[in-house]
């Protein structure tokens, strides 16, 4: 796991100042504290910060092929590199190191861009071919590893693992992208389709970009997609056996390491299943770690302790006080772009705990997206059945009228919170799912925006990109399209960004065995009834893990990391909430209506309403813009 950065002149190869690349890499030192390197040639410069995981002493970067024709900087891990190495050796290649970086170089020389389809791993890399004068930028299938890039005023393209790497380049303009603000207010994060800074882009997951000196750059191209149009055949027992085999393969392949390795353990289905399979594959106790809270309603450590005891894990846990809000400035600096998923704080804390004991930790991320584990996916599955029965001409006036009249009752028992469901049923499936996934609806956002900011959006609406993605998704059903959107849009922008930044902030490598692409491709082919059955999501996954895990672990209500931000914003952060609209940096941007924000803050502080999610979003946006030092 590492940080990479570089500069490339496509149309007119100009000299690259090595010190600029070095400064970009220094901004990424947390991603790679074990070593650094810079290489430059006419029109190109590559830089690297290394966190040593495999071949600790033998794979420094930038790395060259033996003949010097190609050079690479690489962030990530290739789990099947030993198998690829044997295949390449049979084709006549020789290797000087025992790591995975050199295998990518040889794979490029052997197969060109098609080498990507042979790589099983998480990665972002930049490879320069001196003979072809080409720069090959690539990102893994799911976007586990990030890669930002920006065209600059001198004609070059700069790239880096994180935005802070680009910020170290003196020619990068720091001007806010209004559409990114709208997307952030819609989703609570800036999706990969945008960057908070105008002119900066992210290489999308499953894409590569091939640049050649002397030619005008084209656009990135997709090299991998996931297909929900096919269906597996077989009995439940047969499908379960295939699933367990793929789970084992995914976990075992990610246990290869030359440094101490462990696992995050929340006590939920996914992380518990990973620990169970790690224990099965290991001759030593698995090192696990958990974070809990000093308020029982937010704490899951008893479940994690139960799983750890069952598998004889070497378990560590730490209780975080619910007044752990003092770290929010560090969180803003960690993410660069605004990021309002409040579970980032406990995720960072569990990464800190893990790093005290190991350098690599396996997580349970990805199963909900792949197997239909989110409650919103289950609801959408059933809503789509209702939509198929009632024509749109009847649904829109009936459910729309009821939904608008129904009171918003977040405090009420779940069966009485019908407003969102009624409004969703009045819309198309894609629009309804976007409404359910968004953290702030269009009508609520419009109340907060200033007139000038609304005009600057030129009609852009955050939900539209997700809706378009779902409509074009390779799937048969509404559930297929919802899962596709979660895997391709929500997961890289929220879940994987959260884990990457919080783990890399403490120089910890996090691996996601449940995102093994063969496992996810199998899950996409499962019949809908094997993913969602009744009110149960991840049906086949849970049934398959019954041989490993207790019933109360598998079938208890999903909880996840919860942070008490509502209490913070009524207590120690009440002053900060008031300041957002009145005197803070956000008010000075002119993007928002200060009076609307102040009224929202006062209603929340007085307990008349719960606006904690929106206030937290605005607070994190303000801190992010202040950290970036941007202008409107």
How are strands ordered across the β-sheet holding 156-160?
Answer: 35-41, 44-50, 2-9, 156-160, 148-151, 201-202
Question: Residue 500's closest CA among 227, 231, 217, 162?
Answer: 162
Q: Tell whether 314 is in a known binding site.
A: no
Q: Tell whether 291 is in a known binding site.
A: yes
Beta-sheet strands, E only, within 27-69? 35-41, 44-50, 63-64
**β-strand 261-264 against 360-362: which pairing, if any?**
parallel
Question: Residue 308's closest CA among 264, 352, 347?
Answer: 264
Question: Residue 252's closest CA among 467, 454, 80, 41?
Answer: 80
Structure tokens at 27: 């901004």
Q: Tell whether 364 is in a known binding site.
A: yes
Q: Identify the bridge partners of residue 319 per DSSP, sorted by sequence position.
A: 292
Beta-sheet strands, E only, within 265-363? 287-293, 314-320, 360-362
Structure tokens at 507: 């120089």
Cα separation, 277 vs 280, in Å, equals 5
Cα separation, 380 vs 42, in Å, equals 54
Cα separation, 46 vs 345, in Å, equals 33
Question: Residue 254's closest CA among 122, 163, 344?
Answer: 122
- How distant, in Å, are the alpha carbons of 166, 313, 375, 469, 531 from that of 534? 48, 34, 12, 27, 10
Cα separation, 376 vs 459, in Å, equals 27
Cα separation, 528 vs 378, in Å, equals 11
Q: Are 439 and 188 in contact (CB under 8 A)?
A: yes
Question: Residue 484's closest CA among 461, 467, 463?
Answer: 467
Q: Are 481 and 466 in contact (CB under 8 A)?
A: no
Preceding peptide of 62 cis, ω within 30°: yes
**Exposed e or buried b for every residue in 43-82, given b needs 16+ CB within 10 A?**
bbbbbbbbbbbbbeeebbbbbbbeeeebbbbbbbbbbbbe
Question: Residue 380's closest CA among 329, 415, 421, 337?
Answer: 421
Specify the residue for token string 């539209």. Answer: 464
The sign one gets for the Cα dihedral 279, 282, 287, 288 is negative
Residue of 2, 115, 289, 351 marked active site: 2
Examine the residue annotation and report whether 2 is marked as an active-site residue of this protein.
yes
Query: Which H or E run includes 160?
Result: strand 156-160
Q: Tell whether 196 is in a known binding site.
A: no
Cα separation, 293 vs 271, in Å, equals 18
**β-strand 2-9 against 70-78: which pairing, if any?**
unpaired
Q: In this structure, how many other beta carbons lie within 10 angstroms of the beta carbon of residue 107?
A: 23
- How distant, in Å, are the alpha carbons of 122, 216, 273, 507, 511 from that of 252? 15, 43, 13, 22, 11
Which residue numbers belong to the known binding site for L-glutamine? 100
Catalytic positions: 2
Which residue numbers belong to the known binding site? 100, 291, 363-364
Which residue numbers belong to the known binding site for ATP? 291, 363-364
């Amino acid at each position: 796991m590492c940080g990479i950065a570089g500069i490339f002149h496509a149309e007119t190869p100009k000299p690259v100042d090595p010190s600029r690349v070095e400064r970009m890499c220094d901004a990424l030192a947390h991603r790679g504290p074990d070593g650094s390197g810079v290489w430059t040639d006419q029109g190109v410069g590559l830089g690297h910060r290394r966190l040593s995981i495999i071949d600790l002493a033998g794979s420094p970067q930038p790395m060259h092929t033996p003949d010097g024709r190609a050079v690479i900087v690489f962030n990530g891990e290739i789990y099947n590199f030993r198998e690829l190495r044997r295949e390449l050796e049979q084709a006549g290649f020789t290797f000087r190191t025992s790591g995975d970086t050199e295998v990518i170089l040889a794979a490029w020389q052997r197969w060109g861009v098609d080498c990507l389809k042979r790589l099983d791993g998480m990665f972002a890399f930049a490879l320069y071919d001196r003979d072809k004068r080409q720069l090959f930028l690539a990102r893994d299938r799911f976007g586990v590893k990030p890669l930002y890039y920006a065209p600059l005023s001198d004609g070059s393209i700069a790239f880096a693992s994180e935005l802070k790497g680009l910020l170290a380049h003196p020619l990068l303009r720091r001007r806010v992208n209004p559409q990114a603000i709208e997307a952030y207010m819609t989703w609570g994060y800036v999706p990969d389709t945008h960057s908070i800074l105008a002119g900066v882009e992210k290489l999308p997951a499953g894409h590569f970009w091939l640049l050649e000196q002397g030619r005008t750059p084209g656009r990135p191209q997709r090299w991998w997609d996931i297909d929900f149009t096919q269906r597996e055949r077989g009995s439940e027992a047969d499908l379960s056996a295939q699933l367990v085999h793929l789970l084992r393969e995914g976990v075992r392949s990610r246990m290869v390491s030359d440094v101490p390795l462990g696992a995050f353990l929340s006590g939920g289905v996914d992380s518990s299943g990973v620990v169970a399979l790690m224990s099965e594959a290991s001759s030593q106790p698995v090192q696990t770690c958990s974070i809990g809270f000093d308020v029982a309603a937010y704490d899951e450590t008893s479940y994690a302790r139960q799983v750890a005891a069952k598998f004889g894990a070497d378990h560590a846990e730490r209780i975080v006080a619910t007044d752990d809000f003092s770290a929010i400035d560090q969180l803003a600096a960690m993410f660069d772009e605004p990021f309002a998923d409040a579970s980032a704080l406990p995720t960072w804390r569990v990464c800190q705990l893990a790093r005290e004991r190991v350098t690599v930790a396996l997580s349970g991320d990805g199963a909900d997206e792949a197997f239909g584990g989110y409650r919103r996916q289950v609801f959408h599955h059933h809503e789509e059945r209702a939509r198929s029965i009632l024509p749109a001409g009847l649904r829109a006036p009936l459910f729309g009228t009821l939904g608008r009249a129904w009171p918003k009752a977040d405090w009420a028992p779940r069966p009485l919170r019908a407003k969102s469901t009624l409004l969703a049923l009045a819309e198309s499936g894609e629009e309804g799912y976007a409404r359910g996934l968004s953290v702030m609806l269009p009508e609520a956002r419009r109340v907060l925006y200033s007139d000038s900011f609304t005009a600057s959006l030129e009609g852009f609406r955050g939900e539209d990109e997700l809706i378009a993605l779902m409509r074009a998704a390779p799937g048969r059903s509404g559930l297929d399209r919802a899962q596709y959107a979660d895997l391709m849009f929500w997961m890289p922008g929220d879940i994987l960004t959260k884990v990457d930044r919080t783990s890399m902030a403490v120089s910890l490598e996090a691996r996601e065995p449940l995102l093994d692409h063969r496992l996810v491709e199998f899950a996409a082919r499962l019949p809908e009834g094997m993913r969602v059955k009744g009110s149960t999501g991840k049906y086949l996954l849970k049934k398959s893990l019954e041989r490993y895990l207790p019933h109360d672990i598998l079938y208890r209500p999903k909880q996840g990391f919860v942070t008490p931000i509502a209490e913070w914003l009524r207590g120690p952060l009440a002053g900060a909430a008031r300041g957002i609209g009145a005197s803070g940096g956000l008010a000075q941007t002119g993007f928002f209506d200060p009076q609307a924000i102040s009224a929202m803050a006062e209603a929340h502080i007085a307990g008349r309403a719960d606006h904690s999610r929106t206030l937290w979003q605005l607070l994190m946006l303000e801190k992010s813009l202040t950290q970036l030092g941007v202008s409107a």
